[in-house]
Amino acid sequence: RIDMAPPAGAVEVATGSKIDGLALKDAGIQKDLYLFVNGKEYKLKPMQDFQPDQTLLTWLRSVGLTGTKLGCGEGGCGACTVSSSHYDPASQKVVHRAVNACITPVCAMEGCHVVTVEGIGNSKIGLHPVQKRLSDKHGSQCGFCTPGFVMSMYSLLRNNPTPNEHEVEHCIDGNLCRCTGYRPILEAFKTFCPGESEEKSAKSNGCCNGTSPAPYNPSSEMEFPPQLLPSKYSSRDLQFQGSRCTWYRPTSMSSLLALKAQHPAAKIVVGNSELEIERKFRSSNWEVLVCTTHVPEMNELRNLSNGVHIGSAVTLSRIYDHLNQLLASKEEHSTYNFKAMLQQLRWFAGTPIRNVAAIGGNICNASPISDLNPVLMACGAVLTLIKVDGSTREISAKEFFKERMYRQTHLGPDELLLSVFVPETKPMEFSQGYKVSRRRDDDIAIVTAGLRVRLEQKPEGFVVVDCGLAYGGMAASSVNAKKTEEFLKGKTMSHELIRQALEVLPDDLPLADNAPGGMIEFRKTLSASFLFKFGIFVLQQIAPAAVDPAEQSAGIPYSRPVSSGLQHYTETGHKIIMDPAGQAMTGPFDVEGGVGKAVKHLAGDLHVTGEAVYVDDMPNPPGGLYGGLVLSQKSRARLVSVDPSPALALAGVHGYFDHKDVEGNNVFGAVIWDEEVFATKEVFTTGQVIGIVVADSAILARQAASMVKVEYEVLDAILSIEEAVAAESFIGDEGKIESGNVDEAMAKAEKQISGEVRIGGQEHFYLETQASLVVPGENNEFIVHTSSQNPTKTANYVAHVLGIPKAKVVCKVKRMGGGFGGKETRNVFISMACAVAAKKLNRSVRIMLDRDHDMCISGQRHPFLSKYKVGFNKDGLITAVDVKLYSNGGMSLDLSRPVLERAMFHIENAYSIPNVRVTGRVCRTNLPSNTAFRGFGGPQGMMACEAYMEHVARELGVHADEIRAKNLYPTRGGVTPYRQELVDCHLREMWAELQSSCDYTRRRAEVDEFNKKNKWKKRGISMMPVKFGMSFTAKFMNQASALVHVYTDGTVLVSHGGTEMGQGLHTKMCQIAASELGVSLDKVFVTETATDKCANTHPTAASVGADLNGFAVQDACKQIAARLERFRQAKPGATLAEIAMAAWLDRVDLTAHGFYKTPDIGYNFQTGEGRAFHYFAYGVACSEVEVDVLTGDFSTLRADILHDVGDSLNPAVDVGQVEGAFVQGMGLFTLEELVWMNNGQLFTRGPSTYKIPSANDIPIDMRVKLFENCPNRRTIYSSKGVGEPPLNLAISVFNAIREAVGAARRDAGKEGHFRMDTPASCERIRLAMGDFILGKYAASDVLAKGSW
């Protein structure tokens, strides 16, 4: 090995009697922070303007730049993304990086130009091309994540004005969106790609939206500040001293070593990605932080004659780019180690993390599930360590980590990691990197591996002369499989040798049944699967013909093609509208942007510029304070004592308040009063609110809350459905729906089956967490600004806890950063807690929950257990179904009963079954109360249904789609189990149309053929129908009101009871008003939802927000239009402004209150009589997947969706709802998994552990069509609600996975039914395969554990 690193002792170190003089007394040290933000110069002083441990995000928001959002606080969602630019001396050019402001220290921005979303464009001066294209292409819904996406794409364009489509998809791999399903975001950004993508994207939004965007001119971008160029700026050593820590940034090795000598315990910082997590979740603090980003020796990245030299501070993005460039200039045989690193780096975190995180941090962190460390160990990487005296030593990567010791290395206390040397591979030497995680993009590994082998050709064949097999996730450290390595050496490479090695591997990688991380069988199986994959890969390189064609897929590394989408819809204009009785009404005016037009979200421009205001963006009122909740840490316990004195001793803390301070009623509940605002004597779940601490800042409030001492007497807790059933711990009575004679039909059935399935819960993961600002006024009046779907309930409950009249509390909702049901009831106790403190102090109090607290206390989608028995005939017609449902309601009722009832209503999904009995119980457990979530029980009921449909099909040996088709409801005459007749049921027509348009028959044959030819990759295809009932099942909730003002300039202000959470409700209401009043859409406005404008409203939920509020808005508009009619006739062709002025002068009221109540609605569970739903929405989907048999990983190759929205009020908005719901459903059924620990604490409490779909999880080919010519005469303008029904169509992806797994099981000789619970995680998929590798580690009927 040559030219690897400087020889020992080569680093010059200054000498002197006091080594700290270099760090503390050098006159050249800079003690002020100098940076630019959006072209503006800042010189900041520590303590006065910032704290050294402060993040860039908190500082930006403190100076009023609130477009950058706090979504998670751990660099996992991308809502905080900004662009950071600096001059790079090595390349002699300005480099632009997307970074996560929530974990980036503001100190790290010294000498940088930070650009936020406000800095590139706004609605007043004009939008940046990225902003405009995203807005025009419907790329925002709730808008909370949007600034982060904008800045990720902006950063890419600043470095590369003509990116390709892969680079576009790659650049947003660190950004999450819960609303859109990503397709419109990707297609908007791909218009910047040269070639076909611009034209394709322009056409993809529908037949009426094919305009091309204006050309992008990179020369018009903001200039990098010349003050930061080398001619005017030079980097100096930094020292920022704060109240909690001191930050140093040395610019030479000698200064760094002096600091290390002076502060041996100093924490070394480059990207801060790990440190901020430790600070947040482990309450870690360090007195001294030393940043090495400007030490030249640690930032070297250069090619040597036999490998690559990488300084320890080199970022992962630089390494990724360098190695990719290196592949083009090197002979392939020398690049396998580099390829293995690239395989891991591609899926390592997200782009903003890779842009700042350094390889040295990843190595020295010594995580046992590191992506890179096993590759470095296997490939023979050598680390160079440097001591404080300047001497160096070398150590191999595999020797660096203390074996099976958690996060322990052989790095001495007086040493630093200087550099890494990665050798080239020799001829006949091969390396690969492997990783499996819950989500492919931006996720920590479950098991990871670096595998290398070097062969020598001899007469007997290719003999193994050296190898390295390193694993992560199989011990407390990354480990080498030493016995297997020795076994392989000297043996001839062959398929048989691979299988023999698999017998040795378990001795190297033992895992106890109680090993941390769980998933024992899965992890063991993965370790072997990786070795098998690698063996096949090596055989493919040396003797391709020796590999069975059916096994070739095992050795092919994963590669995802770019995604694409097609959307088909038709805009409508003036049309005859039918009233609920089927009578023709006067049609609306055909106006610009009116009903039926595909206009973009009216707040779209505000979303993309960061101008859209959310609760936490609102300026603090004078004297405003911040609340921190004191939360229970026990699942069930008596409160022995609560001592707030340590918190109250902190300067800046203004008080602690609990149940003793409640002047009204401390008991509340969504349906029944069974919860306490503040716990009094006993806590019933972790995360239950005990009290609230109020302080000058949010950080101080949270710190103080954590200092309140609570003493518990722990009691026995119930956590699961099974435990609750055994203890008969239920809330309320059993619910029941029954039709026909189930027992008789079951007895007469030709065939019977029985089984059970578990359906997992789901975290809402709205990007904006629960937030509330309570402002006291005079005479016991209060204004509550909150992120709530239910402003009336919020206002009423605030009045309730304060003991004041409801009329004295006004709740205002401007917009939400997502809701999905999670802000229907579980937001109110936060507003109530703030209100108690605000009243006591007569000062405003606000809270925005941290992501981890939000996830731990606000409840999720209900987990369900379904036990079924089914009778059917040999042709597949189902004659009887008997189902028992159990839901995990948590510690209180909340909305669990109506959720359960909706699940019962959908137990037959879209199938006509003459005899049905379904019963249901809500289980009381000691978990946070579960609550509403998009679909509201419908997904659980339909999943239970599809489980027994699949079971029937496997019992008969036919494809499940054949059973589905045979049992679909007829077009007319179908009657549900709750005795509601179906009118205009489009299921059979839609099934046939989609089956034809998606070329189902041909594709299913191709899937079968693919599966015959491939043993280790399998495909599945499945169709899925949906029938979803539309309306609140509680009769009294089906009402709405609106208030409409027409002004004399012809503008219109609409107030209604619905809230905007991204679904485009305000946009649709404005379209209705525009059409009814005959004015263009740009003249109509909605400012907010407020209870002093529309009182006694109901939550925006159940997908009927547009139905209810639309009729109310129409009613108000028609009243005004009737008053204006004589003025219109008097002035034909006059504008609304002229007509309104004339009416005003004639003293005509230009304001109207509208009201609507849904007719003929109301089901009685006791009698089984009444109409449960106003109407039904229908949909059909076909999904095709490919599954990796050896890992459980899968990709959705294509999804075709045909959905019924009646005559769409806004087809562009509706398509967005269909796509977003479908991808959210994919998360529910295949990806998102809640993990609760045995002590009742939630483990998956942030994006690092809980994984929603990313842009790389969506269908590679996604096609959506709105079903045409199906007006719904019962609703506003013949439209239908759209928010929830399409989510259920994602069950088709789950079912396709089952088909693929079934194909793999057939290869393994396992026929017939097998159980798969949801979500279909990679663990569940892998453990269902039944192959010979799995058989070594798990029983044939093994099921993945889950939290139910």
* Cβ atoms 1178, 969 nearer than 8 A: no
Of 1263, 1291, 1295, 1268, nearest in space to 998 by CA = 1263
Q: Six-digit token pair at 515?
A: 């090993």
Q: Is 985 annotated as a binding residue?
A: no
Cα–Cα–Cα angle for 837, 838, 840, nearest 5°?
Answer: 65
Q: Is 457 annotated as a binding residue?
A: no
Q: Is 936 annotated as a binding residue?
A: yes
778 is annotated as an active-site residue: no
Cα–Cα–Cα angle for 667, 672, 676, nearest 5°?
Answer: 20
State whether residue 299 is helix, strand or coil.
helix
Q: Is 55 annotated as a binding residue?
A: no
Q: Is 934 annotated as a binding residue?
A: yes
Q: Is 1323 annotated as a binding residue?
A: no
User: Mind giving me the DSSP string for 1041-1095?
Assistant: EEEEEE-TTS-EEEEES---SSS-HHHHHHHHHHHHHT--GGGEE---EETTTS-
State whether residue 438 is helix, strand or coil.
coil
Say how far apart CA 668 and CA 687 lie, in whole Å: 17
Q: Is 1193 annotated as a binding residue?
A: no
Q: Is 789 annotated as a binding residue?
A: yes
Phi and psi, residue 1329, nearest 5°: -70, -35
For residues 843, 844, 850 and 856, what is the CA-based torsion angle, rounded to 10 degrees?
A: 80
Q: Is 912 annotated as a binding residue?
A: no
The rounded radius of gyration (Å) of the Cα atoms in the chain is: 32
Q: Is 570 annotated as a binding residue?
A: no
User: Mind giving me the DSSP string for 1220-1232?
Assistant: HHHHHHHIIIII-
Q: Which are the contacts of 1024, defined by CB distance < 8 A and separation ≥ 6?
A: 946, 964, 1180, 1181, 1182, 1183, 1288, 1289, 1291, 1292, 1295
Q: Which are the contacts of 677, defined by CB distance < 8 A and separation ≥ 6?
A: 659, 662, 666, 667, 668, 689, 801, 829, 832, 833, 836
Q: Six-digit token pair at 1091?
A: 């209870």
Q: Is 824 annotated as a binding residue?
A: yes
User: Mind giving me the DSSP string for 364-383?
Assistant: HHT-TT-SSHHHHHHHT-EE
For residues 238, 242, 247 and 251, what is the CA-based torsion angle, rounded to 10 degrees?
A: 10
Q: Is 834 annotated as a binding residue?
A: no
Q: Six-digit token pair at 438?
A: 């819950």
Q: Is 148 annotated as a binding residue?
A: no
State whether residue 634 is helix, strand or coil.
coil
Q: Is 369 annotated as a binding residue?
A: no
For residues 1335, 1337, 1343 and 1347, what is the CA-based torsion angle, rounded to 10 degrees?
A: -160
Q: Is 417 annotated as a binding residue?
A: yes
Type of residue at 769: T
Q: Is 435 annotated as a binding residue?
A: yes
Say how far apart CA 547 and CA 495 lie, in whole Å: 8
Q: Is 1317 annotated as a binding residue?
A: no
Q: Considering 118, 297, 429, 1284, which one is annotated as catalytic? A: 1284
Q: Is 436 annotated as a binding residue?
A: no
* Cβ atoms 1209, 1274 nearer than 8 A: no
Q: Is 171 annotated as a binding residue?
A: no
Say how far apart CA 591 and CA 456 lie, in whole Å: 77
Q: Is 207 annotated as a binding residue?
A: no
Say how far apart CA 1051 and CA 1006 lie, in whole Å: 58
Determine if the peptide bond prior to 225 is cis (ω within 30°): no
Q: Is 820 annotated as a binding residue?
A: yes
Say how far apart CA 770 and CA 788 lie, in whole Å: 8
Parallel, antiparallel, or unpaired: how do β-strands 40-44 and 33-37 relate? antiparallel
Q: Is 95 annotated as a binding residue?
A: no
Backbone CA torsion sign across 167, 170, 175, 181: positive
**Beta-ladder partners of 385:** 393, 417
Of 132, 139, 227, nearest in space to 181 by CA = 139
* Cβ atoms 922, 909 nearer than 8 A: no
Query: In whole angstroms, how far apart are CA 1017 and each of 532, 1190, 1300?
Result: 14, 8, 9
* Cβ atoms 70, 164 nearer than 8 A: no
Q: Is 1173 annotated as a binding residue?
A: no
Say how far apart CA 684 and CA 662 lie, in whole Å: 20
Q: Is 1322 annotated as a binding residue?
A: no
Residue ranges for the known binding site for [2Fe-2S] cluster are 72, 77, 80, 102, 142, 145, 177, 179
Residue ranges for the known binding site for FAD are 268-275, 348, 371, 417, 435
For the annotated catalytic residues, the residue numbers are: 1284
Residue ranges for the known binding site are 72, 77, 80, 102, 142, 145, 177, 179, 268-275, 348, 371, 417, 435, 789, 820, 824, 902, 934, 936, 1033, 1102
Residue ranges for the known binding site for Mo-molybdopterin are 789, 820, 934, 1102
Residue ranges for the known binding site for substrate are 824, 902, 936, 1033
